[in-house]
């Protein structure tokens, strides 16, 4: 049951969500999806910039997390590259443009686009439990 699964993940308490939050519609969709995932109790939105900056107080919790959800806006894969430099691996990885959402250099997006990303994350998580 959907609700039960979300409670279960929440109970884990140490699922971190990262988003590229880039300067485009898909970057902003990744950011909003991370917020939506936290609001749904599926994880805690964490700062990808802190990982990029190699800050120990950010990298260590990320390393010790039970699961890491990473959302990139497009195939440039800034989040994935940032993780790689820090020696981190995403347990759930989503690229927004791979869900049929075209990248545009603007910031407007639709709620349905964010919901599509959230649904994809839930689908992947359901297979990795």
Task: Count CA atoms closer than 13 A to 74's CA, side-chain side.
Answer: 13
Among 9, 20, 51, 88, binds ligand SF4 (CB under 6 A): 20
Q: CB–CB of 17/34 below 8 Å?
A: yes
> In the bound complex, what is the minimum distance in angstroms from residue 76's beta carbon to ligand SF4?
4
Beta bridge partners of 94: 71
> In the bound complex, what is the minimum distance in angstroms from residue 53's beta carbon to ligand SF4?
15
Residue 117 in contact with ligand SF4, rule: CB under 6 A:
no
Q: Applying CB under 6 A, which part among 6-14, 48-56, 72-80, 86-94 lies near ligand SF4? A: 72-80
Query: Cα separation of 71 and 93, whole Å?
Result: 6
Residue 22 in contact with ligand SF4, rule: CB under 6 A:
yes
Show the DSSP H helices in the chain as ranges: 2-12, 25-39, 48-52, 56-64, 78-86, 111-128
Q: Applying CB under 6 A, which part among 4-12, 20-28, 83-91, 113-121 lies near ligand SF4? A: 20-28
Q: Which residue has the tokens 């190699």?
A: 54
Please report, as ranges, the residues that interact with ligand SF4 according to CB under 6 A. Answer: 20, 22, 24, 26-27, 72-74, 76-78
């Amino acid at each position: 049951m959907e609700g039960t699964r979300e409670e279960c993940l929440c109970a884990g308490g140490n699922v971190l969500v990262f988003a590229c939050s880039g300067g485009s519609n898909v970057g902003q969709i990744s950011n909003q999806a991370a917020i939506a995932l936290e609001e749904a109790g599926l994880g805690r939105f964490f700062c990808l910039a802190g990982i990029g900056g190699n800050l120990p107080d950010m990298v260590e919790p990320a390393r010790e997390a039970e699961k890491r959800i990473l959302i990139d806006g497009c195939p440039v894969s800034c989040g994935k590259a940032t993780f790689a430099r820090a020696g981190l691996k995403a347990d759930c990885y989503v690229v927004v443009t791979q869900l049929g959402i075209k990248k545009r250099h603007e910031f407007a997006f639709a709620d349905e686009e964010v919901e599509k990303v959230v649904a994809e994350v839930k689908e992947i998580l359901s297979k990795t439990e």
